[in-house]
Every structure is written in C-alpha cells, then in structure tokens.
Amino acid sequence: MSAPALPGTLYLVPAPLDFGCTPQAPLTEVLPQATMVRAAALSHWVCENAKSCRAYLKRLAEHQALACPLQMQSITELPHAVHKKGDHVGGFDARALLAPLLQGHDLGLVSEAGMPAVADPGSALVRAAHDAGISVVPLVGPVSLLLALAASGLNGQNFAFVGYLPQQAEARAQRIRQLESLALRQGQTQLFIETPYRNAALWQALVQQLQGSTRLALASGLTLAQARVRSMPVAAWRSQGAADIGRLPTVFAIGA
C-alpha cells in the first residue's frame, strides 16, 4: 500500500496592479523573478475570475515556461457571492477547495490585481488551509495599499483599510465624516478604494465633506507609467479644481 501523499503548499500569488488598464506594465517590472518562477511551476489555481487568471498565465508564459499548457491548467473560481460580501466572516466553507492540496499538489491563490486576500477575496481559503495544517506561503509582489500609504506622507505607524465607502450620497457623506473624525482623533490614517468609474464622484464627496485642514492623498495607476501620487490639505485640493485621476485604479487616504 502506497503512503498517502503529503499535502501541497498554498501559494498566495500577487498579480500586477494594471487590471483593466491600457497599456499594461511589463511583468518583469512589477514581479520578482522568483515569484514568476514559482507561479509558473503551478498547475492548480483558485482565483477571483477565471478569465483574468488565464490572462495572467498568458503574460507569465512570455517569461517562464508554464508547468503545463494553459488549457490543462486546473482553475477554480471563488463563488461570486464572496466577491461582494467578503469571505472573512462565516457563510463560506472553503474546505472543498483544499482538495488539490490534500492530494499533494501545490495550489496558487490569485486575484485580479495585487495580493490575494488583501482587499480581495481569498481569506477563507487561507484560513481553511491553516486549519488543515497546510503550509501557506505569500509570494513577493505589489500591494497597492502599502505603496499608497508609503507615498502619502500620512501616518504609516497607525492605519486602517476600510474597503469601499457607501454609494448613496447621504450615507457616503456620513461615513466620510466618521472616518475623518477617527483619523484626526486617533492619528490613524484611513485608506479606502472605489470602482474606477466612480472615482470622480468619490473625490467630489471628499472635498465637499472633509475639513480644509484634513490631508487627502490620492495614489492612481500605481506601478504604471502614468502613476501619480498627490497628497495635500483639502483646502489646497479645492483651490486647484478637479483631480485628474480618470478611471485609473486609485487608493484614497485621509489623515492629519
């Protein structure tokens, strides 16, 4: 009787931050060689979106030979519900996704941009792997939140990521005032994001609702050739007119 297979390793594979952008950043400028080598060696994946996972593997194959042809890669999407509601608090049992790992295969977790399970789904799979005694290894790559925070000039010793703000105007205004109060009272930088086509609406709400002395930072198109990070008091933002961020992926931050 053969011995049971040792479990594989769950690799958290970062993706470029240029999802939905044109042109895209050269892969070799945003991912270390070691990350590309390890990712190319995988043939089993759990992802946010199968189409974008295949596009990522196509880009990777331009620099590293894949473990098997694209059509033979095993790609499983996370349930769509966890994209919207998050998978960090109950309601989603990820144990079934561990099957390749328990059969001895290494497994890659990848999202559409940045580090999976950070401002993206995947934490339930990571948690299930830990509970099953499976090794979890994060690979090195871009994380937009930390890049934005480092470049903002705001407090990097005490910060919070609060996800998306409400879309409804009144609820969004109330949330902005709550976050500003927390930032000014505790010195805690507040980071948040928005779907790119709603960037302008969020920026307008911020400059209308925040105090003039509160500092607002925008980090747009990080790692792209058109990347731009600006940080100034809200009063200065008001005097210069609309922020030119278009539909680039943007991280917003407020603080003292």
The length of the chain, given as a count of residues:
256
Same domain, 23 and 114: yes
CATH number at residue 103: 3.40.1010.10
Same domain, 132 and 153: no
Q: What is the mean pLDDT of the chain?
A: 93
* Residues 70, 40 contacting (CB under 8 angstroms): no
Instruction: Express each pLDDT in 205-217 by its tens digit.
Output: 999 999 999 999 9
* Predicted structure pTM score: 0.92
Residue 1 lies in a domain: no
| The two structure tokens encoding residue 152 | 């903002």
Same domain, 170 and 86: no
| 36: containing domain | 10-138
DSSP letters spanning 200-212: HHHHHHHHHHS-T
Instruction: Express each pLDDT in 68-113 by its tens digit.
Output: 999 999 999 998 776 555 566 667 889 999 999 999 999 999 999 9
- pLDDT at position 242 is 75
- pLDDT at position 243 is 79
Average pLDDT over residues 41-56: 96
Average pLDDT over residues 49-75: 96
In the block, residue with structure tokens 């609820």: 171
- How many structural domains does the chain have? 2
Residue 156 lies in a domain: yes
Count of other CB atoms within 10 angstroms of residue 46 = 25
Q: Where are the alpha helices (DSSP H) in the chain?
A: 27-30, 33-40, 50-61, 80-85, 99-102, 123-131, 144-152, 169-186, 199-209, 234-240
- pLDDT at position 241 is 77
- pLDDT at position 85 is 57
d(CA 201, CA 187): 26
In the block, residue with structure tokens 């010195």: 187
CATH number at residue 251: 3.30.950.10
Instruction: Express each pLDDT in 151-186 by its tens digit.
Output: 999 999 999 999 999 999 999 999 999 999 999 999
